[in-house]
Chain A
Amino acid sequence: MAEPAAATAPAGALLRIEGLTKHFPVVAGLLRRQVGVISAVDGLSFEIMRGETLGLVGESGCGKSTAGRTILRLYEPTAGRVLFEGTDITALSGEALRRMRPRMQMIFQDPQACLNPRMTVGSIIAEPLDEQARMSAAEKRARVQELLEAVGLNPAFANRYPHEFSGGQRQRIGIARAIALNPAFIVCDEPIAALDVSIQAQVVNLLEDLQERFGLTYLFISHDLSMVRHIADRVAVMYLGKAVELGPREAIYRAPLHPYTRALLSAVPIPDPKVERTRSRIILKGDVPSPANPPTGCRFRTRCPIAERRCAEEVPAWRAMGGGRWVACHLAG
């Protein structure tokens, strides 16, 4: 694949996200007037390197999925830019955006809901080929069989319907569909959360194989910290719509800089009873505040064990810490 030289993105970055923000309006009352916003994603900025897997972790409801969908422009961003190979896809519309679609794809969490129940597996996978690539019927059939084989399914399954498959098989179909158009970038939105543990490993291995074969770049959204440690090259941590920390996997897991990352990582069980017994957990007090009414200053301060007065007044800047590490905390470093 010959890639056009990126103009604004530095060498190596496939995707550059700048201040990405997504607010959902809150409407109420008889006239359905807008009374507020839920800031699901607020000022996200990072780069995704070509060929890497960036893990995006955080609690339920912290805006991980919204971030993934907004990056692909399945949601309209409220503010910010997404530069994909140097092209700002937030500025594209209609036909231009549609032509970008094959380059970036998504794998969904629920492998049942993401497949149209009334279409056969073959037609689900072939549909983007109809739209985006001019192919004869025989070429399409061959491509569908090739894709089914690539994800480890029997090519004879093309005539069956999604409900005839197990969860793991359906997720493989979802993956086959996503790679049908040779994308460069795939958002994996909790692709293994709905699967059995035994199947999770198979699907993750498949994703890694495909990455190697086709040179894919992943944004791997998950709340499974062990799985992210296994698959990701770099990890970004989100809390309440904001990125709190980003860095190479080993650095983050060895020495987290942000108190939230520390608490999150301390919750991961260690598969060694001796160590597990003595493991000290950082227990966060209270609940996640509402994204409709986030705390002032640092959004984590209401639950932060080391918060100071400054944290309530100043929004912490997204600071580069060296070694490719970024953090948003006044007290880090």
Chain B
Amino acid sequence: MFTYTIRRLIYAVPTLIAISFIIFSILELSPGDPMAQVPLTVPAEERAKIAEAMGLNEPFIVRYGLWLRQFFINEPLNLIEQWTGWTIGDGERLRVRSWITRAPVTDLIAERLPQTLWVVGLAYLFGVMIAVPIGVISAYRQYSWFDQLGTLFSMVGFSVPTFLTGTLFILIFSVWLGWFPDSYDTTLVVRDWPSFLAQVRQMIMPVTVLALFNAAQISRFMRASMLENLNQDYVRTARAKGLRERAVVLVHVLRNSMIPVVTVIALGVPQIFAGAIITEQIFRVNGLGALLIVGIEGADYPLVQTLTFIFAVLIVLFNLIADILYGILDPRIRYD
């Protein structure tokens, strides 16, 4: 298992370099103009200087090489310096900077990440916690009213997009009923009980909308996987052994059914970081998704490039984690 993991990690390097090149090329081909933000009153020679300072006059391949160096060498060194307090070299390195805000991209990401993790991460966690019991009970009582309701629930969750449910929730629960605030206040600091309650209140709606969406998919996987196992002979064996029905379902059926579901859950984790872009926009959650939208609108290529690439890294990483989990959970699968 260990050598398998190392081998997969080594394979991931060329994959990720290819991905970064593709992202860079796509951004190069995109019609956006980074200079469009500069006011027209700025004289032409000044504009040329600004473009030069941003490195826009260099050929494509040189700019790509520079980004690679900044992202893979300068930024990690910088991180090490921050954590340890050492100074490596002269401590002066060119960082990946956002063209709009002029701030280093990693700082922007570090600023936005907590909001996304709290809202989207919690939504995923709740989604899984709702989905697993629904899937288990739906399968165990197949075609019962509970199962029909669960099927309806997941069909709605699948087919109604989050921008519709989100807007409906805002309309019903904040405009009409006034229970929750209609937008998420990022500046809120939790320091006492009332501010904690305010934080909970503003998180309820975005978390619910996303949790329903996630639960819809995972509960279907859970149900299908349970149904597949419920009629196996080993379940009959377990009953014949005289086990309690709860032990039959929870120990024998559920554990075997969790194998594919756990991998599906692991594969979905990168989506948390990618931020539910649309949901963040609707509820004004100032997270990574919102940051990416700002970057795209302003043709802020270093920001978009870096963010997209980090998402790609997470996807490759969680694919590997899913495969390893599969190997751990299913004794029939042996790597190496």
Residues of A within 8 A of B (CB): 32, 69, 72, 74, 98-102, 105-106, 108-110, 113-118, 127-128, 131-132, 161, 163, 174, 177, 181
A105 adjacent to B234 (CB under 8 Å):
no
Closest 7 CB pairs of A and B: A101-B242, A114-B233, A113-B233, A128-B241, A161-B331, A116-B234, A163-B332
Contact A117 B331 (CB under 8 A): yes
Question: When the two chains form their complex, are residues B236 and A106 in contact, meaning their CB atoms are under 8 A apart?
Answer: yes
- The residue in chain A whose Cβ has the minimal distance to the Cβ of B331 is A161
Q: How many residues of B contact A (CB 8 A)?
A: 22
A118-B256, A118-B331, A161-B332 given; A113·B232 CB < 8 A: yes
B191 at the interface (CB under 8 A from A): no
B58 close to chain A: CB less than 8 A: no
Q: What chain B residues lie within 8 Å of A114 (beta carbons)?
A: 233-234, 236-237
Besides the known contacts A106-B240, A127-B243, A128-B241, 15 further A-B residue pairs in the complex with CB atoms under 8 A apart: A32-B143, A69-B236, A98-B242, A105-B240, A114-B237, A115-B234, A116-B234, A117-B330, A117-B331, A118-B329, A118-B330, A118-B331, A161-B331, A174-B237, A181-B241
Residue of A nearest to B258 (CB): A118
A132 to B331, CA, bound (A): 27
Q: Does B244 contact A (CB under 8 A)?
A: yes
Q: Which B residues are in CB contact (< 8 Å) with A163? A: 331-332
Q: Is B252 an interface residue (CB 8 A)?
A: yes
Determine the chain A residues whose CB is within 8 A of the CB of B238 once the complex forms. Answer: 116, 127
A74 to B240, CA, bound (A): 7
28 sampled A-B residue pairs with Cβ under 8 A? A32-B143, A69-B236, A74-B240, A99-B242, A105-B240, A106-B236, A108-B236, A108-B237, A110-B233, A114-B234, A114-B236, A115-B234, A116-B237, A116-B238, A117-B234, A117-B330, A118-B256, A118-B329, A127-B238, A127-B241, A128-B241, A128-B242, A128-B243, A131-B241, A132-B242, A163-B331, A177-B241, A181-B241
Q: Which chain B positions have C-beta within 8 A of A32?
A: 143
Q: Min CB distance, B141 to chain A, in Å? A: 13
B244 contact set on A, CB distance < 8 A: 98, 131
**A177 pairs with B237, CB closer than 8 A:** yes
